[in-house]
Structure 1
Amino acid sequence: MAIVAGVDIGNSTTEVCLARVNARGEKEYLSSSIVKTTGIKGTTANLPGIRTALDDALRHAGVDMNELVQIRFNEATPVIGDLAMETITETIITESTMIGHNPGTPGGIGLGVGKTVTFAELDRIQSGEKVIVVIPARIDFEDASQAINWAFDRGVDVVGAIACQDDAVLIANRLDKRIPIVDEVTFIEKVPIGMLAAVEVTEPGRTIQTLSNPYGIATVFNLTPEETKMVVPIARALIGNRSAVVVRTPQGDVKARTIPAGVLTIFGQRNREEVDVESGSSKIMQAVERVQPVVDVKGEPGTNAGGMIERVRQVMSDLTGQSLERMNIQDLLSVDTFIPQQVRGGLAGEFALENAVALAAMVKTSRLPMQQIADQLISQLGIPVVIAGVEANMAVLGALTTPGTDKPLAILDMGGGSTDAAIVTRDEKVHSIHLAGAGDMVTMLINSELGLNDLDLAEDIKKFPLAKVESLYHVRLEDGTVRFYEEHLPPQVFARVVILKESGMVPIPSEYSLEKIRHVRREAKKKVFVTNALRALARVAPTGNVRHIEFVVMVGGSALDFEVADMVADALAEYGIVCGRGNIRGTEGPRNAVATGLVLSYSGGGA
């Protein structure tokens, strides 16, 4: 009898399957374990995670380390995902033309159009003049409201206000007339004085209508058709805001500038394609498909895309100890996305959603890094370590332990960094493919589109459903149903969008609505998982046509996601494919497929 351990080193997790094998090759499964992968997949930094996973599996089985006859690894292909560029477009506003941020509590309501004046000169303004008063930080809200009321009494038509501090509501509540007030303008001293300006504030729950519309701005400032074209970036940056200020300056220069994102050169075995990243993800992916199989990708030197590609190569070269020239990119996934970018030239830290392209690159290294891991583990434990097989092939063997499955069978192994697919025919032939992009890329998209700057929070948004806390005793779930609680909820979650984790509610520190966050989450999953599922299955299908596949089993960590499996199954249903989550060995769910396959591939001796 021999005790064998199959170790699957994934991008996110390291999994172990422990089994006892008799002389006839029959397997008795003893235990399994799962831990977070340490370091980037396929590097010696994985060793601490491997040791922990092995120790856990051995402890659960009541087996000592020295009883192990062999440890079997998968061939791990490192995958690095990164944003190829900050943006493809950006809004640039010079000469202080726009203040379009969204303070939490603007004051008043309505649209006011008038000349900007300093607070100090308000008492010198003549009766009948329409003005917008600019209130610096040193002025108290009591003094500001009193001065504006005196101006009203003298017949001055104060139609709006711009304040540095967060005093808008306090000022508005003390005024004799209701005017729109935008506050929290950081660089108040840069607001142009003596210029025609418009201030717009709407009711809570609504968004501005005039200043977010280029024709609205044209009406306010009596612009020519050519000038109206120039204000399109302003209007675009203000869409969705509850408040905004636009100041017309004679020297104002507003434009949407395209950042040179760079050209990607994709090399295939027989030809190559060049594609400008600015043309978007669909063009990039069309180029990738035309040159299949991809043998390498280069980025234009001195551009964002070129920097990203070279950064990926450099990281893998440093981690594996191999030369930079040997780092080839074997697959690329491109996805259109948005990034909140600071508006250049704005006065209050304004942000606008700008177009961007996200890239996930799969770096193909030699067998050397995995051999380095094996050699170090042998020296530490004194136990034979074998690099047993290609990851997708092992996943097929593991997936076939799912009750109700049989050959021919295709699997989708959706992990953290890569989407792998394989198909096994009735005569035992296996064809597999590894594609860049999976769970980590979804997390990256959620993090960037919502402007979270918190990958852990983005990961939670990806993995768990949402709710809106509507009172201290009930929440409305994202499907519209209501859940009531006998005890009151924590005060810090009141009126917030929260993540429903097993450990409790986690409030999301964002002003986005539940519907917006859910939309971003689901679109990110569709862009990555559904796209890659169809792409991978088309590559392994005998004829290159997904319709010629009958059964698909989903395995890997992302198959556990509460909505990904349904999304993929829905996408494949139109092709007449039976698709569902695997249940490895009838006990593990979609987890442990590769580790189980590694054990199943053991035939005794050193194999």
Structure 2
Amino acid sequence: MKLIAGVDIGNSTTEVCIGAIEDNGRFRFLSSASRMTTGTKGTLPNVHGIKAALTEAMERIHEPVERLSLIRLNEAAPVIGDTAMETITETIITESSMIGHNPSTPAGAGEAVGRLIFLENLWKGEAGAAYIVAVSNRFSYEEAAARLNQFLPELDIRGLILQADEAVLVENRLNRKMPIVDEVKHITRIPEGKLAAIEVALPGTSVRMLSNPYGIATLLGLDAQETKAITPIAKSLVGKRSAVVIRTPHGNMRENILPAGEIHLKGEKDLQVNIDAGADVIMEAVAQAGEIQDITGQDNTNVGNMLKRIKNGMAEVAGSKGDEIRITDILAVDTLAPVEISGSLAGETCMEKAVGIAAMVKTQHLPMQQIADRLEEELHVKASVAGVEAVMASLGAMTTPGTRLPLAILDMGGGSTDAAVLEPDGSVRTTHQAGAGELVSMLIQTELGLGSRVTAEQIKKYPMGKVESLFHMRLENGAMQFFPESIDPRYFGHVVLLAPGEMLKIEEDIPMERILEVRQDAKKKVFVRNAIRALRTIAPGNDLKNIPNVVLVGGSAEDFEIPEMLMAALSEYRIVCGRGNIRGTEGPRNAVATGLLMSYLGEKHQG
């Protein structure tokens, strides 16, 4: 009996399929396994993940890896994703010229304008002048309230800025109601004697004056030039419940603007497109360029630096020279990215328009043969590079019950989307395009301002709910789920992700509706757009109506909402679309690894 392994190296996972050719020539599929891909797809570090997946698959049939006669690898093209901002205006502010803030537990309501003074210096205050009092952690809320009440009859105190999270505790002890902003971590940076404006909105509403450049100008008496300069701060406070903006007229303010830049497409047509034009115009230029040999960016611009960084990164991991690295496809999507405002007290950000880009990076010599050689050396098993990813996926998809030729497949992985049409006469049309699951994760992380890519991945994979009591939660679709046992109090009031067998709490304070909007929008921008782009490329006459049915394979086909999104989008072209079920057992996974074994049988038969 001859044992053969098919190995599919993906951006996220490495999948293995084991088959046996018996002495009578009969073929059987025996087992499969998958492991996380180690290193960048298509590079030598992949060997560790391949060996782990092979070991697991062989253990399931109680055989050592050395019993394999042949390992067949797919041709893996690495895909690297990054983002490029359309416009970045970094306002560098010294002496805290303008500061925005958004604590989550303010007290009181309304606006207040006055000179800043620290609590310990209230004795220096002058009658007739309006003050905003800053209170550091050295005072307890009881001490702060007592001292304020002592001076309230003499001084015109309009509002408070607290370092501690104690706004409500202080308010309850004051003899006069006023807006109070708390949780100002770096309160010692506040410049005493400068003019400040604070605003606290009523529950359920957001600030109006300090989220409006002209509102800030009205409260602080700014001229037109100063009003333009504080626009990023006003933008950062949109939708916030409380804010403080401080004016220091002698502050040094300058703008450092790095141009967004142009993308240069070298293809059947050489084209240039400015990234400021947005994703739609960029993708139209990519389509018009035809088959692309390379993509570069304008020097000393955002997109130029980004594309250069991608190429240099690939050259390093692949051990290639810089001039051997080519970008052969990109997927651009419009997004928003948080840009931190320099000089802020609490890391305030404003959302700036950006373009997210996934780039397909290839070397002149695809390093797959190096991987095959390393496997032979370490495992003492013959290894060969066997087939194009999309073709192998088509062969594997044919094992889905209920399919027939002609058959189109969409293989949606972590970094790329492959499509192929397999005709009854055996001819195959394929395309390999940048952009899939990793770009979606990047967009979710960027738009939600998440500190962790892991959280973004989890948001992409799992549905959500909000724990509204210890015995029920509201699901993202509006339904209520009740529990016979009490929910862990740690989850109360939080948005949670409903992973299999557990709840994952989202630490960031982001409304569930906002997370849902960003998640679904990111998936539509990447998966739906790329699927239609890929299918149109391989369709006879570039007409989607010439494709009768599509089988979805790859890791992203397991997603709980992407297949339904694609079914809805492709239904207008009367295309039957659904998840594959490879070999009737594997679901949409393992298509390429299975196809690698089937292609070997075909080659053997032809031979």
**Fold match (TM-score > 0.5):** yes
CA RMSD of aligned residues (A): 2.5
- 596, 599, 603: which one aligns with 1:598: 596
Please give the alpha-carbon distance, in whole angstroms, between the structure 1 residues aligned to 2:373 and 2:246. 67
- 467, 483, 508: which one aligns with 1:485: 483
Residue number in structure 1 paired with 2:280: 282
Please give the alpha-carbon distance, in whole angstroms, between the structure 2 residues aligned to 1:241 and 1:92. 23
SS in 2 for 1:568: helix
Please give the alpha-carbon distance, in whole angstroms, between the structure 1 residues aligned to 2:459 and 2:237. 26
Further displaced range: 219-228 or 403-412: 219-228
SS in 1 for 2:178: coil
Residue number in structure 2 paired with 1:260: 259
Residue number in structure 1 paired with 2:314: 316
Q: Is the 8 A contact 1:100 1:350 kept in 2?
A: yes
| Residue identity in the other structure for 1:48 | H
Residue number in structure 2 paired with 1:297: 295
Q: Is the 8 A contact 1:135 1:163 kept in 2?
A: yes
Instruction: Report the CA distance between 1:167 and its aligned residue.
Output: 3.3
- The residue correspondences of 1:367-516 to structure 2 (distance < 5 A) are 367-516=365-514
Instruction: Report the CA distance between 1:218 and its aligned residue.
Output: 4.2
Residue number in structure 2 paired with 1:164: 163
SS in 2 for 1:543: helix
Residue number in structure 1 paired with 2:146: 146
Instruction: Report the CA distance between 1:305 and its aligned residue.
Output: 2.3
Instruction: Report the CA distance between 1:596 and its aligned residue.
Output: 0.9
Q: Is the 8 A contact 2:232 2:350 kept in 1?
A: no
SS in 2 for 1:84: strand
Q: Cα deviation per residue 1:125-162 (whole Å; 9 max; x = unaligned)?
A: 444543222334444433332232223223x3311112
Residue number in structure 2 paired with 1:41: 41
SS in 2 for 1:174: coil
Further displaced range: 442-451 or 385-394: 442-451
Residue number in structure 1 paired with 2:18: 18
* Identity across matched positions, percent: 50
- The residue correspondences of 1:128-207 to structure 2 (distance < 5 A) are 128-154=128-154, 156-207=155-206
Residue number in structure 1 paired with 2:55: 55
Please give the alpha-carbon distance, in whole angstroms, between the structure 1 residues aligned to 2:581 and 2:127. 80
Residue number in structure 1 paired with 2:335: 337
Instruction: Report the CA distance between 1:94 and its aligned residue.
Output: 5.4
SS in 2 for 1:335: strand
| Residue identity in the other structure for 2:28 | E
Q: Is the 8 A contact 2:86 2:275 kept in 1?
A: no
Residue 490 to residue 123, structure 1, CA distance change in 2 (3 Å): same
Instruction: Report the CA distance between 1:39 and its aligned residue.
Output: 1.3
Q: Is the 8 A contact 1:231 1:254 kept in 2?
A: no
Further displaced range: 360-369 or 187-196: 187-196
Please give the alpha-carbon distance, in whole angstroms, between the structure 1 residues aligned to 2:384 and 2:427. 22
Further displaced range: 290-299 or 220-229: 220-229
Q: Is the 8 A contact 2:233 2:350 kept in 1?
A: no
Give ranges in structure 1 of 5+ residues lacking alignment. Answer: none
Please give the alpha-carbon distance, in whole angstroms, between the structure 1 residues aligned to 2:391 and 2:44. 23
Q: Is the 8 A contact 1:86 1:339 kept in 2?
A: no
Q: Is the 8 A contact 2:553 2:588 kept in 1?
A: yes
Is 1:71–2:54 an aligned residue pair? no
Please give the alpha-carbon distance, in whole angstroms, between the structure 2 residues aligned to 1:117 and 1:521. 45
Number of residue equivalences: 605
Instruction: Report the CA distance between 1:271 and its aligned residue.
Output: 2.5
Q: Is the 8 A contact 2:43 2:317 kept in 1?
A: yes
| Residue identity in the other structure for 2:538 | V
Residue number in structure 2 paired with 1:236: 235
SS in 1 for 2:478: coil
| Residue identity in the other structure for 1:266 | L
SS in 1 for 2:541: coil
Please give the alpha-carbon distance, in whole angstroms, between the structure 2 residues aligned to 1:492 and 1:60. 40
Give ranges in structure 2 of 5+ residues lacking alignment. Answer: none
Residue number in structure 1 paired with 2:114: 114
Q: Is the 8 A contact 1:58 1:65 kept in 2?
A: yes
| Residue identity in the other structure for 1:499 | L
Please give the alpha-carbon distance, in whole angstroms, between the structure 1 residues aligned to 2:124 and 2:67. 93
Please give the alpha-carbon distance, in whole angstroms, between the structure 2 residues aligned to 1:313 and 1:126. 63
Q: Cα deviation per residue 1:414-470 (whole Å; 9 max; x = unaligned)?
A: 001111111112322101111111111111222222222212221111111111111
SS in 1 for 2:523: helix
| Residue identity in the other structure for 1:403 | P
Q: Is the 8 A contact 1:115 1:130 kept in 2?
A: yes
Residue 185 to residue 66, structure 1, CA distance change in 2 (3 Å): closer
The TM-score, its normalising length taken from structure 2, stands at 0.93
Is 1:359–2:357 an aligned residue pair? yes
Further displaced range: 202-211 or 124-133: 124-133
Q: Is the 8 A contact 1:90 1:354 kept in 2?
A: no
| Residue identity in the other structure for 1:181 | I
SS in 1 for 2:540: coil
Q: Is the 8 A contact 2:86 2:276 kept in 1?
A: no
Instruction: Report the CA distance between 1:25 and its aligned residue.
Output: 6.4
Residue 121 to residue 45, structure 1, CA distance change in 2 (3 Å): closer
Q: Is the 8 A contact 1:70 1:385 kept in 2?
A: yes
Instruction: Report the CA distance between 1:527 and its aligned residue.
Output: 1.4
Instruction: Report the CA distance between 1:51 and its aligned residue.
Output: 1.4
Please give the alpha-carbon distance, in whole angstroms, between the structure 2 residues aligned to 1:501 and 1:74. 32
Please give the alpha-carbon distance, in whole angstroms, between the structure 2 residues aligned to 1:434 and 1:305. 23
The TM-score, its normalising length taken from structure 1, stands at 0.93
